[in-house]
Amino acid sequence: MTQSYEDILSRSWNEIPEDKLLPPGGWRLKCRGASFRKGKGDQNDSIMFVYEAIEPMDDVDDDALAELGPDYDYRQNRIFHRFWLESSGDLNTVRRHVEKHGVDTEELSIGESLKAVKGKTIVGILGQRSFQRKDGTVGEENIIQSFEPDE
Residue-wise pLDDT for 31-78, tens only, equals: 999 999 999 988 899 999 999 999 999 999 999 999 998 888 889 899
pLDDT at 30 over 90: yes
pLDDT at 107 over 80: yes
Q: What is the pLDDT of residue 46?
A: 96
Whether the CB-CB separation of 95 and 49 falls below 8 Å is answered with no
Domains parsed from the chain with CATH numbers: 20-149 (2.40.50)
pLDDT at 138 over 70: yes
Kindly indicate the confidence band of residue 2, based on its pLDDT and cuts at 50, 70 and 90: low
Q: What is the pLDDT of residue 45?
A: 94
For the whole model, what pTM was predicted? 0.85
Kindly indicate the confidence band of residue 151, based on its pLDDT and cuts at 50, 70 and 90: confident
Q: What is the 3-state secondary structure (H, E, C) of the chain?
A: CCCCHHHHHHCCHHHCCCCCCCCCEEEEEEEEEEEEECCCCCCCCEEEEEEEEEEECCCCCHHHHHHHCCCCCHHHCEEEEEEECCCHHHHHHHHHHHHHCCCCCCCCCHHHHHHHCCCCEEEEEEEEEEEECCCCCEEEEEEEEEEEECC
Whether the CB-CB separation of 79 and 115 falls below 8 Å is answered with no
Kindly indicate the confidence band of residue 100, based on its pLDDT and cuts at 50, 70 and 90: very high
